[in-house]
Amino acid sequence: DTEVTQTPKHLVMGMTNKKSLKCEQHMGHRAMYWYKQKAKKPPELMFVYSYEKLSINESVPSRFSPECPNSSLLNLHLHALQPEDSALYLCASSQVPRAGGGDEQFFGPGTRLTVL
Amino acid sequence: GNSVTQMEGPVTLSEEAFLTINCTYTATGYPSLFWYVQYPGEGLQLLLKATKADDKGSNKGFEATYRKETTSFHLEKGSVQVSDSAVYFCALSNAGNNRKLIWGLGTSLAVNP
């Protein structure tokens, strides 16, 4: 299985709502990532988990809260978002980066989020 | 620091035309290089990769060769199809920056029948 799955595919939420995005992979990867992507732009890294521990937080506002319940699952909890947070949210996984390289990331299809 | 520069689009070609999308990079050491493709309304798919100088990555008729002397990783395809219409991103990963992916700005390709 070489697939990363994400749910939901689309999400519309108000600024006072709380929602969660989910990501799952069964490739045995121990690194998982959240990215935000605006239209026609490259993805922007938000968070990295390595061996289920948060290893990188790219100064993301606290209204985004990641969680890694186990090695296959990654969640992104959303609360009090702003309209400018509307974007495609992508999850990815990879082998834990090592000195030798070859650490390609495998992406899910994304959740298209609209904040009203 | 590490950076990736790719040719600006959009690129518009007729079916069966030859495609080149230029990508050059700046990095210390020996980065890994990638091409990702994003079809309309979808996530990113790894198209091909190369991890050392003179490696050639290939997939689905696309090729790119890791040229350390010119710090380039240009994407080529001999005969494009309408189904190749997508945005193409060049990226690098380097031990010096926690192996985070550094992305080019993307090149939009439209192939007309």
End-to-end CA distance of chain A: 36
Residue B59 pLDDT level (bands cut at 50, 70, 90): very high
Q: Over its length of 116 residues, how does chain A's per-residue pLDDT go in tens digits?
A: 568 999 999 999 998 899 999 999 989 898 999 999 999 899 999 999 989 999 999 999 999 999 999 999 999 999 999 999 999 999 999 987 665 555 789 999 999 999 99
Among A40, A50, A57, A91, most B C-beta atoms within 10 A, so best to mutate, is A40
Number of alpha helices (DSSP H) and beta strands (DSSP E) in chain A? 0, 11
| pLDDT for position A95 | 85
Q: Does A77 touch chain B (CB under 8 A)?
A: no
DSSP state of B71: T
pLDDT digits (tens, 9 = 90+) for B2-45: 899 998 889 999 999 999 999 999 998 889 999 999 999 899 99
Question: Does residue B1 carry a pLDDT above 90?
Answer: no
> Distance between CA A114 and CA A12 in Å, rounded?
5
DSSP bridge pairs for B62: B59, B77
pLDDT at A40: 85
Q: For residues A72 and A26, is the Cβ–Cβ distance under 8 A? A: yes
- Residue B98 clears pLDDT 80, i.e. is over it: no
Q: Strand ranges (DSSP E) for A38-110?
A: 44-50, 53-57, 64-70, 73-79, 87-94, 106-107
Of B93, B100, B106, the CB nearest to A101: B93
A31 in Cβ contact with A90 (< 8 Å): no
Q: What pLDDT shows up at residue A5?
A: 96
Contact A56/B51, CB-based, under 8 Å?
no
User: What's the confidence (pLDDT) of residue A101?
Assistant: 54
B42: nearest CB among A104, A105, A109? A109
Hey, what amino acid is at A56? I
> Tokens at residue A87, please?
């974007």
pLDDT for A100 equals: 54
Helix (H, G, I), strand (E, B) or coil at B57: strand
